[in-house]
Amino acid sequence: MDIKKINMEKTTKKEEKMSFSVTGMTCATCVKTVEKALSRLEGVKFAAVNLATSTGFIIAEKEIPFEVVKKAVEEVGYGVSEESPQEIEEKRYRETKKSLILGWLGTLPIAVLMLINMLMFKIQNFEFFELFVGGFVIFYAGRKTIKGAWIALTHKHTNMDTLIFFGSVASWFTTLLSIIGIPIASFGAIGAMIMTFHITGRFIESHLRDKAAKEIKALLKLQSKEATVITDKGEILVPIEAVKEGFTVLVKPGERIPIDGQIIDGVSGVDESMITGESIPIQKSVGEEVIGGSLNLTSPLKIKVTKVGEDTFLAQMIKLIQQAQGAKVPIQALADRITMWFVPSIITLAVLSSVIWYFNFERFSPFIESASKFIPWITMGSDPLTFSVFVFVATIVIACPCALGLATPMALVAGTGLAAKRGLIIKNAEAIQTAKEVKYVLMDKTGTLTEGNPKVVEHNLSEEEFRVISGIEKNSNHPLAKAVSSFVESNLKPDYIEEIPGQGLKAVVGENEYFIGRPEFPEKYTGYLESGKTVIEVYKNKDLLGYIVVEDPIRADSRSAVKELKNMNITPVMITGDNQKTARAVAKFVGIDEVYAQVRPADKLDIVRKYQAKGMKVVMAGDGMNDAAALKGADVGIAIGSGTDLAIDSADIIITKGGVYRIVDAIKISKKTFRVIKQNLFWAFFYNVVAIPMAMAGLLHPVIAEIAMAISSITVVLNSMKISRTKLYEENEDNKGSVLKCCE
């Protein structure tokens, strides 16, 4: 097992997150072994390792050097790789493919000869051929499995490799015992078949897992390896790691934009579909932001670098998806508890059943004779020792817990992949399990139900005063403030400024004190408010200076989203700091019946608690800093990606493209993912509950047991991949509109 650090991210003054990639795991027991080692580190509050994605994640109270993590992994018998996860995966794929070819080159002839020897005529010295070819397949083609089992055993724990090791090596030893004269049937060929089927299952499983994670791999492919930097000496092509903030890069038509930045020269169409989902190219010009990974289509662009490395939008998306895929959901705790004692219990059962058969073979022989009429391979067991080994190997092989270990993480990989494709970045994997139970969806108005791109449509201020107000509003990220500051250009810098969440801005400019915020008596502006517009009042030295009227179009998908939520028996609720009349007008248009207006930020959290007190799961969706507490307090917090950093940091899910209809998608993906998790766990448990007693009763051939085990793992992966093919309801084009059109 190898482990590679990806990042150490500071989340608070006392909390650190480290995510890393892990390779070489074979089952859930491996996962628990690494988790235990990491959890024992001083300061670690939480540790999780994911089998399907080969990723791990820890949260610590302090910064933990990577060398400490490395040592913890090495102490439980595993290695550390400095290669990238992609390089590790490619290397493992090549090695598995080589082992697969070697395994079948040895197994096919030995299997054919075994059948001839059993059914047609005895082949002289076949057992010697069986010993050497079987040994080659088991100990050379299957050396990775043998090594994994040996590491586990020498560190006093077990895993799936342990079961394959015992099954295949025990079978091979029967050939050796038979050659030296002990009366026992030779199972050497069966040992080779067990190992080869195991390698084959691993190869298919790896291929399917790679396919299931195609969304994250598509994002990784967008990351540029080089950039053309403009310097005093001309254009220089440099590795992307050498590009720094403030550099100027040249992006020619047809090239991918390598980093996040601002255009300083040029006008071009930019395709951002792989990142934002917007299929129509966007015309970008001087002063506009561009995202690394998007495609420059028509003309050269000179871009000033504003973000590099892990700070870029694309890197953040990839990191969040990887962390979510590497995390766990509560239902996985059940599977984890079972797998901890599963392998040792199976070894114990296999030994007990073989011992019981050995000493009671004569008593149970009538049962064997009856069963052999329907199950032909049982006739192989003609003496107590042979049959007891037959039972031991079959029980060991049939019980490999690979399907159990993959049941939850594979569904998570597919679910988070589908979510990413739909413009949803799931930061907290637990949200996948919680969202399916949601009964209330609470939504902010501005920037959530509306586009968050309001425009000033009327005001009664002088040009000079508006310029002052514009200079003040430049210091706020609130959508309404941006509308005001973009209406009139201003370079004014206030002497003092304070943002009061849910109220407005207080500022001092020279000798004057200003307040820009919600009206004290909104009834004065009834006409504007009933048409869905928002009014901002401006005070100078506590005297009313004037007002500004702002209009924010409703998102195109808001009405269809509300309608679909109601169809799902989920109650949509609007919570806004805006006045009653504007809130009611917007709510009526989109179809929301429950409205809370003129709500302060602290009150939003109280409203969330109010619905939770009914015993219901609650989603809160918002985009502003005044939504942060409610996003954190809700069962599932969903932030609009264009919102403030505080809102995004407080959320469990981020919408990176589209509007509020993505909330519907999130809930549907949650339901589908959890349904698949339950199906996977059911079949994994059912398979073992049925198959283990059959093997202990001597009714399963070891080769058939190995094939069944491999099929069960592949079935779990294939069932999980159904999630990525889920058809999600698309927004109704007829429901598109704006407040201005519907409310005038």
Instruction: Catalogue the active-site residues.
Output: 444
Tokens, residue 578: 């805006």
Q: How far apart are CA 220 and CA 210, in angstroms?
A: 13
Instruction: Give, to the nearest 10 degrees, the angle between helix 160-179 and helix 188-212.
Output: 160
List Cα–Cα distances, 719 to 200, 407, 682, in angstroms: 19, 9, 12
Burial class (CB in 10 A: 0-12, 13-18, 19+), 733: exposed
**Dihedral of alpha carbons 328, 329, 332, 336, sign:** positive
* Partners of 596 in the β-ladder: 575
527-530 long-range contacts (CB < 8 A, ≥24 apart) are 528/458, 529/579, 529/581, 529/582, 529/585, 530/581, 530/585, 530/743
| CB distance 663 to 638 below 8 Å | yes
| CB distance 1 to 34 below 8 Å | yes
Q: How far apart are CA 691 and CA 398, in angstroms?
A: 7
C-alpha closest to that of 141 among 164, 159, 112, 118: 164
Q: How far apart are CA 400 and CA 537, in angstroms?
A: 69
Instruction: Mark 431-446 as b/e (b = at least 16 C-beta within 10 Å).
Output: bbbbbbebbbbbbbbb
User: What phi and psi, each to the nearest 5 degrees, are found at residue 363?
Assistant: -65, -35
| CB distance 343 to 29 below 8 Å | yes
What three-state secondary structure class fits 555? coil
